[in-house]
């Protein structure tokens, strides 16, 4: 049985993102995608409940019991919440995706959390700046952010950088069309990724179950070929039709968000984008263009398009990418050229297909920007592209009057560089803000899109197949700007005092731990043999000496002496030499030190039975840790001794190199001053122009209504769609006769059950029964009909199926029963004869080809009907119907063969049998 539950991104929902669905196949729970919402919507500061709380709570409950995770695309809507769920909610199930999705998902999540943590106090980061709860702002419309309210911030499920790295490092990567048989609780399932288009590495997941059949998960698919990607394999571009491996699944899970959308032609979209940018940059007003974009996936299509136009038009204006991870993203993509397509792969080998370029061409590629990682991808070496981590770096390089093209993340304008840049950029006349996606509902990007769409004519709306025109923005918009500012004055002094107190507390704690370690080692030394007492005493004195170094460091000097204390402790384990005078001085430093280290010792043996003196207060008895194998080993001590050996074995050159490397790393590390988070209300007087060009790279309604009937699933579930789009797709499928009527569109949290519960058991077939079976091949399996009896053997835990014997059959007596009365004719119940089963899926095109090979004409007449025989060639006429048959497929999967009993009838029936696996009874 299959149970499907949308956690987010369901049908009949106004919010279609993020995507996260729970698919249960028998006892295996599969999480399909794990997206994150936009954490900074345009809503009231006092709001305590965010719209994503229900989704996050549901994911938190299901995360520990999930058995498998499949990620389809490398953007925030599909995998943004996976690192947090992996680290905090125990989502430790095996995770599979393609290599580019793993890399792009890591980059997109890193960019998002860094942008949020630079503006808000999430409360669990590596740094904890002071929240500006007491400062007053007297000028302007600004206001100080209130004290940290954990109840209000509980919905900000933002991971840390270390959690992101750890989570995506655990992901298993697959190649396209690579079947993987799962083990453990998922044993029996086979998953295979296929190209979905839309994003680099985007995946359609095919899940094969022995009990539930084939499940196809295909969301955010694009069948059109783009500049950096090929279209999905779901539709064969050359021959047409559906890819055979993905046709006729038992269950299709697909999205219908753009069912009601008619996309404009790609040529028109590209022309509108390029013409707007060129006319703005070359105008006499010296204006600029701002394009909000994502950080990992769809930005690649924009970069390739802009680079090609810059080369063709010989433009010299800078293309500025405001992203912390932009350079890293391109480095990853350049190393994954086999995942790219479109014109990028052609440009990489040259338009003439000649892989042996001239030396001059190779030299020019190598000198573009000096990046050796890009040597394999000429099309991705963007000569005019410059990277900037923040708007301040861009302002330092170019003034506001210099014409330039700016691509800033994120596309939603909810936080980060794009939002900070928009405040000043939108107030400059003749500047252009060019939107390429609609963004999530409730964000600034969606608000601007709605403003643009509302001012278009009815025929020029974005979903009517037209481009539309740019509009002049007027009026103001109030925005809440969040930022982190350095502390000053009394706030800085209070923060420094708090840090000093924390360091002193931590130092005292470390000193206490070190003292306990010394006391424990002193107890161990007391129980050693008498023959080694002199050497032990010297070691204990040196351990006390080096331990006191740690006490001094922990008291007031801070972290400056910490490394010296560690080295001293390493030396103490091996009895290294120390300063004798300092030893005597430190022996009486700690009054709480146990007596063994302050015991009076001498090089010569004590004479006259003079007793040794010990300090007796305070007395703490330390007991050894003993397990069933004896006394436990102090691993930390052996590690310290190993470090001592390694340091002694190092040469002077190695030590100098390490010191220089450490000094360089410390110089590179940015020491951020103590800071606080502030919020301010800003009113932006917009004077720029606004234009939307759809560059999302998704199927429109015409493609969806064409592809889904050709896939022809037995059952279908619609997700990721508003109510209007979901109803439109259901209505379209209802008008197709051969299309299934089992179509579901569950709401968020609503479960849909398909099929029946199946219990699987392991059984062994006996040799005698196995030899008598007649097996038929079906795809990768062999199937057969078997009848027997289950026998349990004491030597095996798995029961065995043995053939039925005549002795086990019940013996029926021929003597009539006097009590039952006289027998009547027809009184016995009829017994159904065993029947054979045919397994497989008949494709009329394949049957037509087989019949043509043996000389039987056949013709498809539509509506799933194949005419075979003389009627196929003459299409009517006297006597044509006598030697003709019709093969018809119904929506329920049945095959009907109609016609007279002729040679053509038996020939066609034989070929139909040959296309199926016959399981004889």
Give how far Cα 607 sits from Cα of 165, 530, 534, 603, 839, Å.
66, 16, 15, 12, 100
Model confidence pLDDT, tens digit, residues 374-429: 444 466 889 899 999 999 999 999 998 899 999 999 999 999 999 999 999 999 99
pLDDT by residue (tens digit) across 617-629? Answer: 555 566 677 888 8
Confidence grade of residue 120 (pLDDT, cut at 50, 70, 90): confident
Most confident of 241-245, 336-340, 649-653, 768-772: 336-340
Query: Across-strand partners of 95?
Result: 69
Mean pLDDT of all residues in the chain? 79
C-alpha separations of 795 from 769, 800, 892 in Å: 20, 11, 47
Share of the chain above pLDDT 90, in %: 43
User: Is the model's pLDDT at 871 over the cut of 70?
Assistant: yes
Residue 593: pLDDT band (50, 70, 90) is very low
Alpha-carbon Rg for the chain, nearest whole angstrom, is 37
Residue 315 confidence (pLDDT) above 60: yes
Rounded to an integer, the average pLDDT of 693-704 is 94
The tens digit of pLDDT for each residue in 740-762 reads 999 999 999 999 999 876 677 77
Looking at residue 638, its pLDDT comes to 77
pLDDT of residue 144: 34
Quick check: 347 pLDDT over 60?
Answer: no
**What is the model's pLDDT at position 745?**
95
pLDDT band at 44 (very low <50, low <70, confident <90, very high): low
> What distance in Å separates the CA atoms of residue 732 and residue 254, rounded to the nearest whole number?
15
What pLDDT is attached to residue 698?
94
Q: Which helix (H) or strand (E) holds 395?
A: helix 391-397
| pLDDT over threshold 70, residue 139 | no
pLDDT of residue 912: 87
pLDDT at 179 over 60: yes
Where along the chain do its domains lie? 2-40+48-120+156-262+700-754, 266-352+369-486+684-692, 490-657, 764-792+832-921
Band the pLDDT of 263: cuts 50, 70, 90. very high
Give the Cβ contact number of residue 78 at 10 Å.
31
Angle between helices 533-552 and 489-526 (to 10 degrees): 170
CATH of the domain spanning 2-40+48-120+156-262+700-754: 3.60.15.10
pLDDT at 450 over 90: yes
Q: What is the DSSP string of 476-535?
A: EEEEEEEEEEE--HHHHHHHHHHHHHHHHHHHHHHHHHHHHHHHHHHHHHHTS-GGGHHH
What integer pLDDT is reported at residue 320 of this predicted model? 97
Whether the ω angle into residue 18 lies within 30 degrees of 0, i.e. cis, is yes
Q: Which of 124-128, 216-220, 498-502, 604-608 has the highest mean pLDDT?
A: 216-220
pLDDT digits (tens, 9 = 90+) for 712-745: 999 999 999 999 999 999 999 999 888 899 999 9
**Going by CATH, does the domain composed of 266-352+369-486+684-692 fall within 3.40.50.10890?**
yes
- Is the model more confident about 281 or about 759? 281
Least confident among 116-125, 327-336, 391-400: 116-125
In 3D space, the residue among 888, 892, 881 whose CA is nearest the CA of residue 863 turns out to be 888
pLDDT at 378: 61
pLDDT of residue 552: 38
Predicted confidence at residue 764, as pLDDT, reads 86
pLDDT in tens, 193-230: 999 999 999 999 999 998 889 999 999 999 999 999 99
Res 60 pLDDT > 80? yes
Report the sign of the C-alpha dihedral through residues 66, 70, 74, 78, in that order. Answer: negative
For the ranges 277-291, 540-554, 718-732, 825-839, the lowest mean pLDDT is seen at 540-554
| Angle value at C-alpha 37, between 31 and 42, nearest 5 degrees | 165
Element containing residue 679 per DSSP (H, E): strand 675-685
Q: Does residue 559 carry a pLDDT above 60? A: no
Task: Return the pLDDT at 26.
Answer: 86
Q: How far is CA 657 from the centre of its chain?
A: 39
Q: For 84-106, what is the mean pLDDT?
A: 96
């Amino acid at each position: 049985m299959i149970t499907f539950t949308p956690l987010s991104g369901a049908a009949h929902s106004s919010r279609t993102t993020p995507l996260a669905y729970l698919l249960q196949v028998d006892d295996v729970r599969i999480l399909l995608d794990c997206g994150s919402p936009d954490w900074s919507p345009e809503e009231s500061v006092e709001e305590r409940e965010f719209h994503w709380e229900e989704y996050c709570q549901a994911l938190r409950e299901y995360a520990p019991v999930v058995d498998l995770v499949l990620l389809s695309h490398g953007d925030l809507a599909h995998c943004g919440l996976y690192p947090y769920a992996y680290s905090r909610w125990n989502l430790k199930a095996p995770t599979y995706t393609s290599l580019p999705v793993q890399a792009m998902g890591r980059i997109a999540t890193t960019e998002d959390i860094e942008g949020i943590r630079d503006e808000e106090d999430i409360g669990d980061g590596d740094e904890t700046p002071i929240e500006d709860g007491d400062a007053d702002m007297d000028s302007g419309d600004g206001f100080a952010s209130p004290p940290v309210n954990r109840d209000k911030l509980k919905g900000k499920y933002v991971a840390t950088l270390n959690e992101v790295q750890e989570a995506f490092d655990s992901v298993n990567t697959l190649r396209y069309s690579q079947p993987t048989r799962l083990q453990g609780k998922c044993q029996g399932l086979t998953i295979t990724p296929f190209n979905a288009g839309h994003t680099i590495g985007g995946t359609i997941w095919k899940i094969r179950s022995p009990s539930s059949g084939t499940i196809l998960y295909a969301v955010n698919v694009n069948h059109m070929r783009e500049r950096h990607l090929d279209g999905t394999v779901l539709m064969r571009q050359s021959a047409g039709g559906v890819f055979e491996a993905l046709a006729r699944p038992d269950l299709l899970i697909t999205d219908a968000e753009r069912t009601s959308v008619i996309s404009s032609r790609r040529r028109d979209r590209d022309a509108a984008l390029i013409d707007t940018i060129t006319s703005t940059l070359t105008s006499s007003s010296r204006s600029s263009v701002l394009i909000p974009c994502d950080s990992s996936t769809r930005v690649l299509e924009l970069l390739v398009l802009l680079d090609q136009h810059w080369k063709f038009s010989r433009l010299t204006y800078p293309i500025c990418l405001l992203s912390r991870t932009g350079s890293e993203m391109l480095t990853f993509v350049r190393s994954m050229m086999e995942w790219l397509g479109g014109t990028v792969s052609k440009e990489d080998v040259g338009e003439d297909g000649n892989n042996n370029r001239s030396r001059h061409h190779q030299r020019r590629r190598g000198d573009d920007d000096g990046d050796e990682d890009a040597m394999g991808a000429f099309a991705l070496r963007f000569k005019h592209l410059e990277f900037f981590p923040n708007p301040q770096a861009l302002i330092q390089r170019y003034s506001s009057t210099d014409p330039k093209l700016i691509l800033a993340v994120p596309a939603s304008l909810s936080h980060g560089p794009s939002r900070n840049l928009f405040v000043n950029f939108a107030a400059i006349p003749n500047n252009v803000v060019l939107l390429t996606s609609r963004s999530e509902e409730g964000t600034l990007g969606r608000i601007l899109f709605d403003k643009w769409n509302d001012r278009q004519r009815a025929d020029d709306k974005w979903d009517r197949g037209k481009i539309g025109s740019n509009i002049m923005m007027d009026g103001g918009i109030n925005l809440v700007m969040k930022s982190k500012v350095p502390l000053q004055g009394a706030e800085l002094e209070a923060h420094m005092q708090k840090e000093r107190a924390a360091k002193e507390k931590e130092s005292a704690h470390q000193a206490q731990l070190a003292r306990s370690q010394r006391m424990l080692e002193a107890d161990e030394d007391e129980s050693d043999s008498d023959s080694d007492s002199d050497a032990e005493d010297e070691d204990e004195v040196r351990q006390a000496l080096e331990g006191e170094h740690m006490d001094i460091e922990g008291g007031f000097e801070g972290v400056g002496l910490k490394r010296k204390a560690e080295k001293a402790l390493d030396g103490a384990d091996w009895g290294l030499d120390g300063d004798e005078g300092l030893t005597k001085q430190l022996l009486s430093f700690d009054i709480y030190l146990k007596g063994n280290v302050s015991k009076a010792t001498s090089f010569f043996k004590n004479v006259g039975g003079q007793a040794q003196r010990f300090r007796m207060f305070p007395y703490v008895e330390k007991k050894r840790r003993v397990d069933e194998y004896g006394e436990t080993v102090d691993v930390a001590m052996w590690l310290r001794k190993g470090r001592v050996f390694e340091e002694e074995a190092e040469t002077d050159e190695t030590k100098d190199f390490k010191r220089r490397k450490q000094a360089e790393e410390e110089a590179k590390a940015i020491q951020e001053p103590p800071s606080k988070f502030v919020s301010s209300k800003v009113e932006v007087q917009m004077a720029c122009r606004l234009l939307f060009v759809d560059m999302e790279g998704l199927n429109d309604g015409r493609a969806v209504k064409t592809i889904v009937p050709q896939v022809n699933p037995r059952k279908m579930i619609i997700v990721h769609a508003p109510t209007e789009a979901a109803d439109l797709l259901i209505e379209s499928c209802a008008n197709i006769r051969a299309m299934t009527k089992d179509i579901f569109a569950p709401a968020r949290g609503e479960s849909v059950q398909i099929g029946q519960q199946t219990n699987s058991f392991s059984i062994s077939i006996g040799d005698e029964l196995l030899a008598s079976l007649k097996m038929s091949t079906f795809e990768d399996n062999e199937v057969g009909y078997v009848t027997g009896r289950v026998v349990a053997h004491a030597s095996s835990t798995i029961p065995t199926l043995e053939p039925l014997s005549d002795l086990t059959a019940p013996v029926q007596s021929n003597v009539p029963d006097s009590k039952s009365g006289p027998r009547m004719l027809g009184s016995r119940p009829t017994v159904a004869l065993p029947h054979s089963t045919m397994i497989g899926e008949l494709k009329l095109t394949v049957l037509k080809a087989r019949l043509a090979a043996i000389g039987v004409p056949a013709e498809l007449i539509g509506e799933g009907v194949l005419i075979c025989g003389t009627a196929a060639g003459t299409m009517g006429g006297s006597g044509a119907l006598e030697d003709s048959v019709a093969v018809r497929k119904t929506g329920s999967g049945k095959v009907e063969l109609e016609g007279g009993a002729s040679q053509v009838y038996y020939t066609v029936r034989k070929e139909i049998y040959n296309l199926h696996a016959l399981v004889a009874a």
